Structures are given as C-alpha cells and as structure tokens.
Structure 1
Amino acid sequence: MLADSPEQIISSVKSIVSEEIASLDSGVEISYTEYFNHTYMPDMVLSWPRQNEVRPLYLRSSFREGVTESEVRGLEGTEPVVLGLQSATEGGVEDTIRESARSTRRVFVTDIGSIDSFGRAGAVKGGQSTPLVEVLKSNLFRAGRGFMGSEDVTTLTEAAERAVSSDPEVSASGLRDLEEAASGIYAEDGAYQIGRVGRILQAAGTSMSIQSQLELEGRLSESDIRIVLPYLLRRPDVSDNLEFWSAISRLVDLESLENVIELEGLDITRLVNPDSLKSWSACRAELALNNDFDEEFDSADVTRWSIRAGKLSAITGPWNLVFASTDKRKLKGASDAREANWDDIARIARALIVESASLRGITRRLSVGAEESSNVVRDVDEITRALEDNYRVRKLDVRTPGSESDSVIDVDFKKMLATVHGSGAPLGELGTVALLLLGHRYQVSPGWLEVELPDEVGDKD
C-alpha cells in the first residue's frame, strides 16, 4: 500500500489542528493557506467576523531555542498564534520561550498537547465544562498572549472552578488566582472579560450587592454571551434580584442577543427590565395576534420576553410584539390589516406627540403635518368633524412625551408596523407606541409602558 503523500500528511495535520481549535472556540472561522511550517507565511488564518478580528497561525514541528525566540520577535507585528506540534517541555526550551512571548503585546505560543488538555479540562456530567472554563476556552485563540503549557492549563482551570465555589472564601481566592493566571496568558481585553464573567457567576449565586462584584464598563462579547446567559437563565437558583439583572442587561445589547442561537426559545423576562428598556435600541416593531392567548386563564397585562427566530418577542395577552434591532428587513409586516378609525385612536394620539397623520376617507385623502399645524391632533379632530366622511388612519408619525431620544416613529396600521425614523429608538418607547396604537382594538397595560392613558381608551371594533 502506498504511503500518504506529503500533501496528504500536511492536510491531515491541519485538519487535526483545526478540530482542536474549533473544540475550544465554536465562533472561529479557520482557513488554510498553501504553506506549511514556513518562517513568515502562516499555515492557517483564524478569523472572528462578528468582532472583525483576524490572527495568522504558524505551525512548528518543534520549538528550538534561539530560533523560536527569533520568530516570536519577528512575527510580533502580525499578532500571531504559534502552535508547536511537539511540547516545548520536550525540547527543554519552555522557560526561554515563555519569557520571550511574555515580552510581546499579543503573540501567543502554545502546543497541540496543551490545546488538547484544555479541550478536556473541567468536564462535568455530559462532557460539558463549567461556564467559566468554557469562557477561558472560547477566548483563548482570539485573546491569547504569552506562552501556555500543560501546567498553565491546570492552573487556569482549577482556579476557575474554585472561583465559582459556594464557599465565599474559596471563591474569592479562586478568582484572585484566576485573574493573576489569566493576565499572563490572555491579552488585557481578554483577561478583563474573564475576570468580569467570574464576578457575574459569583454574584449569581449570592445575595450580595452586584455593584461590589461587577465593573460595568463595556460589553460582553458574543462568545461570552453564548456561554453565560443561557446558563444563568436556565438556572432556577440564580437570583431574581433586579439589581443583578439590570447590571447584566447593561453589558449586552439587543443586536448581540439576536445573534446568539443558544438563546432561541429561552424565557429572558428577567433580562428585560427598566434599564434594558431604556438602553436597548430597536429600529422596527411588528404587532401580531397571539393565537395561544386564553382570556380565561392568561393575564393580559403580563409580558413574557424571549428570542425567537433571531428576534425579540414580547407576548402580552392577545398580542405578540416582535422587535428588530438594526435590520428593518427582518420584519415585513402584515398585508391585510385594517386601518384605524380616528375616533378609536384619538385618545391615544392625545397622550403622544403626533408629528403627522395620513387619513383616507370614502371620497378624499388628507395629510396633516407639524409643518402646517401647531397641533396635529386638534386639527385632525376638527377636520373629521367638519367634513362628512368616514375617515380611517393609514399612518401616524409620533413621539413619546419626555423622550430622551426624541425619536420619531412611523406607525403603519395597514402593515401593523412601527418603524423608527433613523437608526433606532429605545425599546420601551418603540414598544409603547406599537402596543398602544397598533393594539388599540384590544388594549393591554403591562407595567413597562411609558405613556399613561385614561382607563377607557376606545371601543373595540
């Protein structure tokens, strides 16, 4: 039987390395080059499109004193990963390589054996590692720096497991050890994220103030969201403390949540709170009937929030309100919804700031805008009373009183869409406008609405 060709051997080596990398980081994309073990041309390229980051990866048959140190310095400008197919310990050059790599800003040197050990580390029932160990793994190739050997893997994973211990003293010392170990193996941004995730997981199981646990700057990466949020949301013993979930909601945004498939179908109601309703932004909302609503058993004023088909869904009584963060094309709207009778929505319109109104009667169409009118609602009232016609409203442009964003929202009754003029509006504002106006036939009053209305809003059609 013929032996494998050099090309087949190289392909097999790259395939094995790719599998090891992907087992740690499911979000990385890996492409091969035509080179192998070349001094200055990478063997593979690792990329993270969502973060717009790329790192070249250089394979080395072995680490050699002097040669590897020279390569580390020469490749520093490309922020590479240098991966040995043999352990640095075998060549007795671990200490010199560690010192050389540590002096760089973002060169990461390790070996395939250590990567394999990391992939198997921290596994619990079902083969899955604890969330903090998973965060260590998923950030390794994107944010790794310095040198990592098998002993470093043990130090990191043992500290990570102690950091989430139910014993406060063990947990505190574990987190300190983890942050110290991570600072030598991860770049500053990666080490910061890891420490913050550790504090989140610590706070999740305690009653202590979240403010003393978390640094609230920046955002969680999508890879960390993918690991941490499903874990927290599925755990019944995680605190319901509003302060905790408000802190978490400030670390994420709606667009990131839409991209995390692991959140699909999960109840994220605890995550949608007064903070996220103000800080999360959406560009469009669509209102549709909730066919599962049972008036006898279901509350019409309680909202359950979830991610479905990559969009945020808010089930409130007979309504399903769906949001899109930045891509308006995600929500097409209805094609056969009824236009609104002006008399039915006039009270709601008076509670908002109406910029313009488009009305259609049997014999004529009318448009009233702020450019021609100092009070659009009053003028529409006068027009509909003075002219003998049955006017229905196709569109309104409105704002919510006291809005910090001052966003103008286009309400299309025919399509059951509320669309922001511009890039986006706070979730609470857009949702309030959509539920009050588009949902005027079956009025609901969840506690998060930002506009107060009279008890009687209008008759149902």
Structure 2
Amino acid sequence: MTDFSSALHAAFDVPDPREAVNRIKNVVAHELSQTDTRAKVTKTDFFNHSFAPDLVLSWPNERERLVFLKSDTRPAVLRDDVAAIRKHDPIVFALDPVNEDPLDTDEYQSPPRDDDTLLADSRGMEVLIESRVSEPVVGLASSAVLQGGRGLLTEREAEAMASSVAAGFNGAKQLDTGTTAAAVAQISGHFDQRRTSRLLRFLGAVWVGSGGTASSFPGEQDVTGDLDGTALEFLMELPPIDDFEFWRRIGRPLTLESISQLRVEDDSENLQHLVESNLDVLHARACRVLERQQELGEEETTKFRWRLERQMLCLRGSRFSTYFASKVDELKVEPQDGEGISLHELLRRAEQRRTSISELELATPTRTVSYATVTRDDISHDEELIRLSSTFSSTAYVQTAVASLFGTRPLVCDFPSRTGKGRTAAKFPLGTLAPVALSLLTATTVEERQALDQVTRYYNEVQRQPTLFEVEDASAIQSSISNQSQADVGEIES
C-alpha cells in the first residue's frame, strides 16, 4: 500500500462524515499539488456529486479545471458519471484503482477527439510524481496532465507516458528519429490540443537546439513556435546541459522580458548557460546596482552569477547585485541613495573599460555645471575639462555622466542612485551593458573586472571578427593610438 493509499484509507475511517470528507479532499489535493507544484487547488463544499466538482485547479493565465472525486469505480457507474460531466473536460479522479478502461466497451461509443476528459486514479498520479525524481523532465508532462490530459491515466498508462517523455527528450537531444517519434505519438494521444502543441514545441526546441532542423523533426505538428514559460522553467531545473550551441539555439527567440517572468530557484546552472549563450540578443534599457552583504553560509567568491529576483534578471556578485529591465519603471528595487563621485574617479573607471564619456554634470552644494563638446565626442581626456574641474572645491561631485556605447547609443549613468538608462529608446545587449554599467556605477576591483569578463566571455567570442582590410587598417594606426593613449594617461595622472 502506498503512502497516498494509506492516507486515503485513514481518511475514510474517520467516524465524523464531514471530517472524513475534508480529509479525503486534503489527501487528494496534496497529491495533485505534488503532480504539478504550480497548480492552485481549491476545495468546494460538494463531495461525490454528479454535477458539482469537489476540487478546482487553477494556474496563472490558464483556464480552471474541475475535479470530480468518485468512490464507485465500477465501469458502468463510471461511464454514466463521465457522460454526465464530460462537457466540462474535467478530471474524474477515482479514489480506488481502475483495473480496466470503463470507456473501452462494445456498448459504449468512444469519446470524440474534442472530448478532453481525463479519467485517472491515484496510482497513475503517483507514478508521475515518482518519475519526476529520476527524470525531472517528466515534470513537464505531469503539469500538462492536470491542465489538459485526456483519456485514461492508470498506473500502466502513466508509466508509458513517463518513460516515453523521458526517452523523447533524450532522443531529441541525440536526434534519434525513432525514439522522438514514439514520444510524439504518445503525447498526441494523451493531451488536449493546446498541451500537445506545447509539449511538441518543447521537444522540437530541444531537437533544433541539438543541431536538427525543424523540417526534420518527426511528426506532422508545427513545432516552430517559441517555448512557453513552463517548458523553459523545466529546462532550467534539469541537470546541467553544458552545451553552448544548444542553449544558443534555444535562446535566440527569447527576450529579457520572457526570461524575467520565469520562476527559477536559486542560480540554476542551466540559467547561467541560457543567459551567457545569448547575451547578444537579450537587450535591456535600464539597470540598477545595489550593495549587498553576503548571506550566512554563503561562499566567499569574486564570481558573478545570473539569478531571477523580483521578476527581474539579476547579476549578483559578492558585494553588488545589478538588476536589468526593459524600462526604468520596471526596475522593482528602490535605489540606495548616495553621493556622486569625483571627476578623477569617473575618469579612472572609464579608462578601465575604455569607455567614452560624451557629457557629464558636476555639482557642488550651490552650483551645477554641465560639460560636453559640440560634437559629443569623448571628453574623458579633455584638457579643458581637467582645468575646469581644478577650479571647483573638493565638494564637487559628478552627478551624471553619459557613456557612448557602440559609438551612437548613449547610456546615462546616475551616480547617486547607481542607475543606468538608455537615452530615449536606446537599448543595449547585456553582454556590453553589464560590464560597462557595473564598472562605471561602482568601484570594481581587478578580480571583479576579471570575473565580469568571464561571465560575458561567450559574448566577446561571438562578436564580429574584423575583415582583412580592417586588420590592415588597425595595424597601420595601432602605434599612433598607443602613443596617444600613453600621453592622455599621463595628462590625467598629472
């Protein structure tokens, strides 16, 4: 007898009928929650009713699904019960094992294809729960079962489904047509149209991510759509897949917004792979840096890790957390108020990343001065700026500065709030924005800058390689640039 069966029998043995019903519902609700941890289970005031559900399942942005508990599992009774409520596409949950398909009889006409009723017993659900432990990808199927499973789900069917989905995932990774086709057939027969489409898009994305083509994916269904959030979340929870090309193919259609909505615990290794492989297509317009203290038991390290916090993508280090958003008002963390920085400190930070500063604002307690050239070119080595700043007292701080990324996209850095934002509609790939913004808005150590280079290494590797003419041109002017840079640095130090 399983733990669920024991709990269910104990609930039936409670003398008070009302308390017995409440405990039975609690036991079933717990099992459904284990089958899909994302589901919200609500109890009703009914029990074993012909037309009123016992439980209601709900998910964000999904339709509700009604659950009818049935204690009488005789085939004739179950057939009548299903016939009375099938228009709701419900889950009929048998409290005792179903040993034969009550709908598979000569005198009963099989349900039409658009009938998405699911007849399940407790053992079928338990098989899916247990299978998730050894094969986490089965969790995607168990979630889909509650949302849109159809047909019969007993122990045998659940075992076939779990093994088929797990084998299909591994088959898609290995471009195994036969194994993947078997999973496609299994999925197509046990889920409604929407869940079938989602699961096949998942397998199709894994197939393409592994180097296959959409046209060679086994099955007639269209698998070219983007992955939904649930499928992506399950990919994040799987054992680490250390394959740059796989994650790059998976992530090309993604946006910062779609990743920010995911619910992922901690700093999943697969989240690191997904983000780091797609730093050129994930664009942000704003970021904010917050100081942080290491948590109790947290390992001391200079490494940076991508995380999802407060529905934002975050790059967390040992001293700072940097949050990224598509708009300034989507930064859901309040700034930590501070002061500006000295001009010398700004120029030092800009030099570390070879970042051009096109304008800035200096302020004292009583005056504010804005400085920029007419052509908006780099002012970080401007002799006039150095002379002007020497006339200010030691209380003069840079409040804002505008960095030019890619030559034409202005990044406005506000130092008191440690916030960076693109001017007008300017957005930046995370591979550039993360290291530049963090290095300008905070005082980073050599080790931290090296760690930033490490976390963005794939972005740097996939940048456009110079053409032959560019290489020749670069060689011709290299010495003059080097000499000029040394002179500029000497002027700043003096």
TM-score relative to the length of structure 2: 0.67
Q: CA deviation at 1:411?
A: 1.4
What is the DSSP-based 3-state SS (H/G/I as helix, E as strand, rest coil) of the residue aligned with 2:65?
Answer: strand
Distance 1:248 1:169 in 2: 15
2:190 match: 185
Residue 92 (structure 1) aligned with residue 102 (structure 2): yes
Task: Single out whichever of 64-73 and 282-291 deviates more from structure 2.
Answer: 282-291
**Native 8 Å contact 1:304 1:315 kept in 2:** yes
* 1:383-402 equivalence runs, <5 A: 385=387, 388-389=391-392, 391-397=396-402, 400-401=405-406
Match of 1:69 in 2: 83
Task: Compare the two structures and name the one with the higher helix fraction.
Answer: 2
Question: 1:24 Cα deviation (Å)?
Answer: 1.1
Cα shift readout 1:371-417 (whole Å, capped 9, x = no counterpart): xx6638669965764573255311235563367xx6x6441222333
Q: Does 1:83 align with 2:93?
A: yes
CA distance in 1: counterparts of 2:421 and 2:413, whole angstroms: 7
Paired residue for 1:218?
Answer: 226
CA distance in 2, matches of 1:460, 1:199: 58
Q: Which position in structure 2 is the counterpart of 1:294? A: none
Question: Are residues 203 and 5 of structure 1, via their aligned partners in 2, closer, same or farther at CA, if it must alter by over 3 Å?
Answer: same
> 1:27 — aligned with what?
38
Match in the other structure for 1:375:
376
Pick the aligned partner of 2:68 from 47, 58, 63. 58
Mark the CA change 1:53 to 1:247 in structure 2 (over 3 Å): closer, same or farther. farther
Name the structure 1 match of 2:250: 248
CA separation in 1, counterparts of 2:90 and 2:422?
Answer: 43
Change (3 A) 1:85 1:336: same
Could you tell me how far 1:155 is from its partner in structure 2? 2.3
Instruction: Flag the structure with larger Rg.
Output: 2
SS in 2 for 1:278: coil
1:42 aligned residue: 53
Q: Does 1:273 align with 2:276?
A: yes
> Partner of 1:11 in structure 2?
22
Contact 1:342 1:392 in 2 (8 A): no
**TM-score w.r.t. structure 1 length?**
0.71
The alpha-carbon deviation at position 352 of structure 1 amounts to: 5.0
CA contact (8 A) 2:236 2:264 kept: no
Alignment of 1:164-313 (within 5 A): 171-198=176-203, 209=211, 211=213, 217-222=225-230, 224-233=231-240, 238-240=241-243, 242-250=244-252, 254=256, 256=259, 259-264=262-267, 266=269, 268-273=271-276, 275-279=278-282, 281=284, 283-286=286-289, 304-307=304-307, 312-313=313-314
Question: Cα 1:261–1:162, aligned 2, differ >3 Å: closer, same or farther?
Answer: closer
Work out whether residues 94 and 122 of structure 2, in 8 Å CA contact, stay in contact via their aligned partners in 1: yes
Cα 1:418/1:253, change in 2 over 3 Å? same
The count of aligned residue pairs is 423
Note closer, same or farther for the CA distance 1:400–1:151 as it changes in structure 2 (3 Å cut). Answer: same
Distance 1:409-1:45 versus aligned 2 partners, 3 A rule: farther
C-alpha displacement at 1:246, in angstroms?
A: 0.7
Alignment check: 8 A CA contact 2:271 2:306 kept: yes
Q: CA deviation at 1:249?
A: 2.8
**What do residues 27-47 of structure 1 show as CA deviations (whole Å, max 9, x unaligned)?**
111111222233443322212
User: Hey, what's the Cα distance between the residues in 1 that align with 2:17 and 2:65?
Assistant: 26
The question of 1:413 aligning with 2:415 is answered: yes
Query: Which of 365, 368, 371 is matched with 2:368 structurally?
Result: 365
Contact 2:43 2:54 in 1 (8 A): yes
Q: 1:119 to 1:145 in 2, by over 3 A?
A: same
Instruction: Confirm whether residue 435 of structure 1 aligns to residue 449 of structure 2.
Output: no
CA deviations over 1:91-126 (Å, ceiling 9, x no partner): 83345889326333x443433342234333x37xxx
Deviation at 1:21, TM superposition (A): 0.7
Pick one of 137, 142, 145 that aligns with 2:142: 137
Q: In structure 1, how many angstroms separate the alpha carbons of the residues matched to 2:361 and 2:247? A: 41
1:342 offset after TM fit, Å?
A: 6.4
Residues 280 and 143 (structure 1 numbering): CA distance in 2 closer, same or farther, change over 3 Å? farther
Which string of whole-angstrom CA distances, capped at 9 and with x for unpartnered residues, describes residues 203-241 of structure 1?
88xxx625568856313423x3443323242xxxx443x
The DSSP-based 3-state class of the residue aligned with 1:114 is: helix
CA distance in 2, matches of 1:134, 1:98: 32
- Contact persistence 1:220–1:251 (CA under 8 A): no
Name the residue aligned to 2:471. none
Identity of aligned residues (%): 17
